[in-house]
Amino acid sequence: MDFRRIARRRLPAPVFHYMDGGADDELALARNTEAFADYELLPSQLSDVSKIDLRSTLFGQHVDWPVMIAPTGASRLFHAGGEPAVARAADKFGMFYSLSTLSTATIEDVAAVSAGPKAFQLYVFKDRGLTEDWLDRCRDADYVALQLTVDTPVAGNRERDFVYGFGAPPRSRLRQLASFARHPGWLYRALVRQDLEMVNITSGSEAARNWKGGIRKYIDEQLERSLTWKDVEWLAGRWSGALVIKGVQTVEDCRKAAESGASAVMLSNHGGRQLESAPAPVDCIAAVADALRDRLEIICDGGIRRGNHVVKALALGANACSIGRGYLFALAAGGQPGVERALMLLRADVERTMALAGCDSVRKLGRSYVRQRR
The structural domains of the chain, ordered by start, are 3-372 (3.20.20.70)
Dist. CA 20–CA 200, nearest whole Å: 24
pLDDT score for 215: 56
Q: How big is the CA angle at 229 (ends 198 and 303), to the nearest 5 degrees?
A: 55
**Active-site choice (17, 79, 183, 270):** 270
pLDDT value, residue 171: 45
User: Model-level pTM greater than 0.85?
Assistant: yes
270 is catalytic: yes
Low-confidence ranges of the chain (pLDDT < 70): 167-175, 191-194, 204-217
State the pLDDT at residue 185. Answer: 80
**Given this model, what pLDDT does residue 61 score?**
97
The pLDDT value recorded for residue 206 is: 62
Burial 305-337 (b: 16+ CB within 10 A, else e): bbbbbbbbbbbbbbbbbbbbbbbbbbbbbbbbe
Half-sphere exposure of 130 (CA within 13 A, CB side): 23
